[in-house]
Amino acid sequence: MINLEVPKKAKALVNQARQAATEVFRPISRKYDRAEHSYPSELDMLAALLDGLNTSGEGGAGAAGVRRKDDKNSGGNRNGGNLLTVLGTIELCWGDVALLLSMPRQGLGNAAIASVANDEQLERFSKVWAAMAITEPGCGSDSAAITTTATKDGDDYILNGEKIFVTSGDRADAVVVWATLDKSKGRAAIKSFVVEKGTPGFEVVRLEHKLGIRASDTAVLRFDNCRVPAKNLLGSPEIDTKKGFAGVMQTFDNTRPLVAAMAIGVARAALEETRKLLDEAGIEIDYDKPALTQHAAAATFLQLEADYEAAYLTTLEAAWMADNRKPNSLQASIAKAKAGRTVVDITLKCVELAGTLGYTEESLLEKWARDSKILDIFEGTQQIQQLIVARRLLGKTSKELK
């Protein structure tokens, strides 16, 4: 029998995350949406708490990794760090997704380090707040088309290139940069490097002004003959054309369910606020009657809830599979695609159902609608996720199905 309740071991974490979302995130949500590029200093104490949870193995808000070589001999089902992190992320993003993205040491770069770093690197970068730099001016959804280069020079690599739309690119202590060792060898030559702030040749060019997640900084970075120690290359330096892109792409098996969890948290916040407004307006939602026999607003709300539940369950599946060392690339993309599309549909429809209250700053509904769109775009767009799913289901390669 499948039990869809929150695991007992996760309940304390979920409660703590909900308290943080209620007492810390929600009260300052509008403040930092208006004060774009201002660092939310209120997060420092909360970040220290999440560091403790991650260290204890209880999971936090986004720095867990997929390390399939671990626990090879463990038997039975595991509800481990990935599932716990997803559940915590949902609660915190119910509070404010941009503030979660602003949390020190909980970035996507930290998830990359946790996923592919060796034991020495895990220890060395354990206290580092790491952003993730993949997208380039001429390379968006196709990560294999990266042009930033890494040239071996003695005990170092020299990086040259530019990265755009780097979340926490200005505030983080370091950036995990994707670069190619040899363009002629295609995606197999793409590796990730930890580049620490202050490294000569590493420059933050500018910060972007954005539609949503405005509390989170998004930067353009430039690398001009930036010398990085070879020991900062994550994973193996060998170019294995048979294995291809698998090393760096393993990161996405973890981060895509996390972005899906962010979307679920925002969607739930919008649904709860809209449900309250419908109740105040005297519109009853009856789960025992067919939707078409109810008020049009109630019927719409029931449809949105159904989509929400589907996105929630696909995300839990992807996280559970990661915890149990099962290949989850397909499920991670399904979760990201479903949750990303669903949160946009839900938040926009909730704005519509709420009328004038949904379109003004009297409520957070308009903010959640703005925040939601990025969750359908970053960590692989909706279209890319659907392409990945199609390739997996049809057994096609990237060359066969573009």
State whether 145 and 59 are in the same domain: no
* pLDDT tens digits for range 214-272: 999 999 999 999 999 999 999 888 887 666 555 566 677 878 999 999 999 999 999 99
> In sequence order, which residues have a C-beta less than 8 Å from that of residue 211 and are 6 or more positions away?
370, 373, 374
What is the β-pairing status of strands 174-180 and 130-133? parallel
* Rounded mean pLDDT, 299-313: 97
State whether 215 and 289 are in the same domain: no
* Rounded mean pLDDT, 129-147: 87
With 50 as the cut, is the pLDDT of residue 61 above it? no
On whether residue 276 sits in a domain, the answer given is: yes
On whether residue 328 sits in a domain, the answer given is: yes
State whether 119 and 134 are in the same domain: no
pLDDT for 75 equals 60
Which of residues 208, 234, 260 is at a domain's end? Answer: 234
* pLDDT tens digits for range 186-221: 888 999 999 999 999 999 999 999 999 999 999 999
Work out the pLDDT band at 20, boundaries 50, 70, 90: very high
* Rounded mean pLDDT, 273-294: 96
pLDDT for 236 equals 85
pLDDT for 242 equals 63
Structural domain of residue 174, as residue ranges?
130-234
Which of residues 186, 201, 234 is at a domain's end? Answer: 234
Judged by average pLDDT, the poorest of 69-83, 93-107, 145-159 is 69-83
State whether 317 and 303 are in the same domain: yes
- For the chain, the domain total comes to 3
With 60 as the cut, is the pLDDT of residue 55 above it? no
State whether 307 and 357 are in the same domain: yes
pLDDT for 243 equals 62
State the catalytic residue, choosing from 196, 309, 379, 400: 379
Name the residue with higher pLDDT: 74 or 5: 5
* pLDDT tens digits for range 348-367: 999 999 999 999 999 999 99
* Rounded mean pLDDT, 309-314: 97
Name the residue with higher pLDDT: 239 or 73: 239
Read off the CATH number of the domain in which 58 is found: 1.10.540
The pair phi, psi for residue 227, each rounded to 5°, is: -90, 120
Cβ atoms 208, 188 nearer than 8 A: no
Cα–Cα dist 7/107, whole Å: 25
379 is catalytic: yes
On whether residue 55 sits in a domain, the answer given is: yes
Angle at 341 between CA 393 and CA 140, to 5 degrees: 75
State whether 88 and 106 are in the same domain: yes
Nearest alpha-carbon partner for 176 in 99, 217, 234: 234
State whether 92 and 135 are in the same domain: no
State whether 311 and 259 are in the same domain: yes
Cα–Cα dist 133/43, whole Å: 23
Instruction: Name the 3-class secondary structure at 202.
Output: strand
On whether residue 241 sits in a domain, the answer given is: no
State whether 149 and 88 are in the same domain: no
Q: What percent of the chain has pLDDT over 70?
A: 90
Work out the pLDDT band at 325, boundaries 50, 70, 90: confident
Read off the CATH number of the domain in which 182 is found: 2.40.110.10
On whether residue 401 sits in a domain, the answer given is: no
With 90 as the cut, is the pLDDT of residue 25 above it? yes
Cβ atoms 46, 92 nearer than 8 A: no
Q: What is the mean pLDDT of the chain?
A: 90
Highest mean pLDDT among 5-14, 122-131, 267-276, 376-385: 267-276
State whether 268 and 382 are in the same domain: yes
State whether 262 and 384 are in the same domain: yes
pLDDT for 107 equals 76
Read off the CATH number of the domain in which 273 is found: 1.20.140.10
Instruction: Name the 3-class secondary structure at 362.
Output: coil
* Rounded mean pLDDT, 303-307: 97
Which of residues 234, 264, 281 is at a domain's end? Answer: 234
Cβ atoms 144, 187 nearer than 8 A: yes
pLDDT for 1 equals 46
How many CB atoms neighbour CB 14 within 10 A?
A: 16
Number of helical (H) and strand (E) elements in the chain, helices listed first: 13, 8
State whether 151 and 104 are in the same domain: no
